[in-house]
């Protein structure tokens, strides 16, 4: 019980209203220019060269129910071997991010980028929790696996420490890729371009759909993530 209380104290306390600030703090350390001008955040480069994480692409589940995994300590990680249709364990070094290649192949590039950002959030904000859990020996702490199909506000009825941290990573990751400080400029840029697009002008393509697609393409995120971000910031009615 004492150990559980101690571990809970290592979970960062955040309100949803703080998530944009947390994303800005992340970028101020690792990509300041993304706070000054619209640009696709080089999240994989940040993970590899600034957070010094190794990124390994391996299948994590048979049905893509797990998109990514952060390994905080040395140990064994479970992977899925599609050739032999079996799960097995492989040795992994702490500081390794596992990404299922089907995250890109069966979904899209934006989903892969969001998964990398998600795992970066875990590494930056939640590493102390998992390292402490490993030392105390009362929680499985080598990794935290990111399940597929969980949205921004998908919340359990009763929250565990892991639920809180997953909620934080779910919300901060897209804010890192689409920072509040530049979204307005990017949106206006795309809006201006829509006026010059002959298909939009002729009514052959929905302006709203075109804007979301172009915005998503600019930031290299999924269309769903782009639409949610624009809506929550009040750019889409």
pLDDT, tens digit, for every residue of 94-105? 999 999 998 876
Listed in sequence order, the DSSP H helices in 46-108 are 102
Q: Are the CB atoms for 114 and 222 separated by under 8 Å?
A: yes
pLDDT of residue 150: 46
Listed in sequence order, the DSSP H helices in the chain are 2-8, 19-30, 43-45, 102, 109-136, 161-177, 180-194, 198-201, 207-219, 223-232
CA distance 33 to 19: 19
Flag residues of the chain having pLDDT under 50.
1-2, 140-141, 150, 152
pLDDT of residue 144: 53
pLDDT of residue 49: 97
pLDDT of residue 210: 86
Residue 192: both structure tokens together: 């201006």
pLDDT of residue 159: 81
pLDDT of residue 1: 33
pLDDT of residue 230: 96
Q: What is the pTM of this model?
A: 0.88
Radius of gyration of the chain (CA): 19
pLDDT of residue 207: 85
CA nearest neighbour of 144 among 117, 113, 174, 165: 165
């Amino acid at each position: 019980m004492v150990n559980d209380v101690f571990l809970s104290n290592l979970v960062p306390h955040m309100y949803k209203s703080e998530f944009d600030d947390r994303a800005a703090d992340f970028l101020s350390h690792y990509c300041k220019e993304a706070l000054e001008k619209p640009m696709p955040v080089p999240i994989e480069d940040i993970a590899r060269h600034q957070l010094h994480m190794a990124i390994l692409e391996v299948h994590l589940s048979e049905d893509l129910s797990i998109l990514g995994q952060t390994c905080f300590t040395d140990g064994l990680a479970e992977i899925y071997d599609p050739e032999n249709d079996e799960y097995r364990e492989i040795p992994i070094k702490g500081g390794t991010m596992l990404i299922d290649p089907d995250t890109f192949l069966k979904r899209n590039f934006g989903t892969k980028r969001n998964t990398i950002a998600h795992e970066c959030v875990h590494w930056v904000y939640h590493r102390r929790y998992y390292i402490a859990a490993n030392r105390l020996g009362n929680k499985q702490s080598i990794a935290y696996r990111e399940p597929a199909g969980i949205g921004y506000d998908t919340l359990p009825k009763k929250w565990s420490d892991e639920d809180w941290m997953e909620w934080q990573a779910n919300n901060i990751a897209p804010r890192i890729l689409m920072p509040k400080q530049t979204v307005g400029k990017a949106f206006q840029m795309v809006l201006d371009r829509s006026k010059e697009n002959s298909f939009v002008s002729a009514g052959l393509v929905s302006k709203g759909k075109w804007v979301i697609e172009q915005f998503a393409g600019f930031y290299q995120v999924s269309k769903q993530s782009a639409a949610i971000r624009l809506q929550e910031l009040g750019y889409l009615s």
